[in-house]
Amino acid sequence: MSAPVLSVDDLSVEFATREGTVHAVRHVGLDVHAGRTLAILGESGSGKSVTAQAIMGLLDTPPARVSSGSIVFEGTDLVGASERTRMRINGEGIAMVFQDALSALNPVYTVGDQISELLRVRRKLSRSAARARAIELMERVRIPAAARRVDDYPHQFSGGMRQRIMIALAVALNPRVLIADEPTTALDVTVQAQIMELLTELRRENGMGLVLITHDLGVVAEVADDVVVMYSGRIVERGSVEELFQRPAHPYTRGLLRSMPRPDREDDELWAIPGAPPSPLRAPGGCAFNPRCDAVVDVCRTDQPELRLIAAGRHSACHLSQEVFDGRA
Tell me which residues touch ligand ADP (CB under 6 A).
15, 17, 22, 24, 42, 44-50, 280
> 100: buried, middle or exposed (CB in 10 Å: 19+, 13-18, 0-12)?
middle
Residue 310's binding partner among ligand ADP, Mg ion, none (Cβ under 5 to 8 angstroms by kind) is: none
Nearer to ligand ADP, 149 or 234 (CB): 234
Rounded to 5°, the CA angle 208-209-211 comes to: 130
Residue 239's binding partner among ligand ADP, Mg ion, none (Cβ under 5 to 8 angstroms by kind) is: none
Q: Does 7 bind Mg ion (CB under 5 A)?
A: no
First-to-final CA distance of the chain: 32
Residue 245's φ and ψ, nearest 5 degrees, are -75, -35
Nearer to ligand ADP, 113 or 181 (CB): 181
Our separate counts of H helices and E strands in the chain read 12, 12
Task: Choose one: 46-54, 122-130, 161-169, 216-224; the region binding Mg ion (CB under 5 A).
Answer: 46-54
Please, what is the minimum distance in Å from the beta carbon of residue 185 to ligand ADP?
10
Please, what is the minimum distance in Å from the beta carbon of residue 181 to ligand ADP?
7
Please, what is the minimum distance in Å from the beta carbon of residue 215 to ligand ADP?
7
Cα–Cα distance list, 164 to 83, 112, 209 (Å): 29, 13, 18
Residue 109's binding partner among ligand ADP, Mg ion, none (Cβ under 5 to 8 angstroms by kind) is: none
Give the footprint of Mg ion on residues 239-298 (CB under 5 A): none
Nearer to ligand ADP, 58 or 173 (CB): 58
Please, what is the minimum distance in Å from the beta carbon of residue 236 to ligand ADP?
13
Please, what is the minimum distance in Å from the beta carbon of residue 273 to ligand ADP?
16
Nearer to Mg ion, 49 or 316 (CB): 49
Q: Which long-range contacts (CB under 8 A, 24 or more apart) does 136-139 make?
A: 137/168, 137/171, 137/172, 138/111, 138/112, 138/164, 138/165, 138/168
Position among 49, 53, 163, 184 found at the interface with Mg ion (CB under 5 A)? 49
Rounded to 10 degrees, the C-alpha dihedral 239/243/246/248 comes to: -30
Nearer to ligand ADP, 24 or 210 (CB): 24
Residue 38's φ and ψ, nearest 5 degrees, are -105, 125
119, 132 contact by CB (below 8 A): no
51, 182 contact by CB (below 8 A): no
Residue 192's φ and ψ, nearest 5 degrees, are -55, -50
Nearer to Mg ion, 116 or 163 (CB): 163
Nearer to ligand ADP, 50 or 235 (CB): 50
Residue 209's binding partner among Mg ion, ligand ADP, none (Cβ under 5 to 8 angstroms by kind) is: none
Please, what is the minimum distance in Å from the beta carbon of residue 185 to Mg ion?
9
> 198: buried, middle or exposed (CB in 10 Å: 19+, 13-18, 0-12)?
buried
Residue 45's binding partner among Mg ion, ligand ADP, none (Cβ under 5 to 8 angstroms by kind) is: ligand ADP
Nearer to Mg ion, 12 or 49 (CB): 49
Please, what is the minimum distance in Å from the beta carbon of residue 42 to ligand ADP?
5
181, 216 contact by CB (below 8 A): no
Please, what is the minimum distance in Å from the beta carbon of residue 107 to ligand ADP?
24
Residue 160's binding partner among Mg ion, ligand ADP, none (Cβ under 5 to 8 angstroms by kind) is: none
| DSSP, residue by residue, 231-280 | ETTEEEEEEEHHHHHHS--SHHHHHHHHTS--TT--SSPPP--SS-PPPG
Give contact residues for Mg ion (rule: CB under 5 A): 49
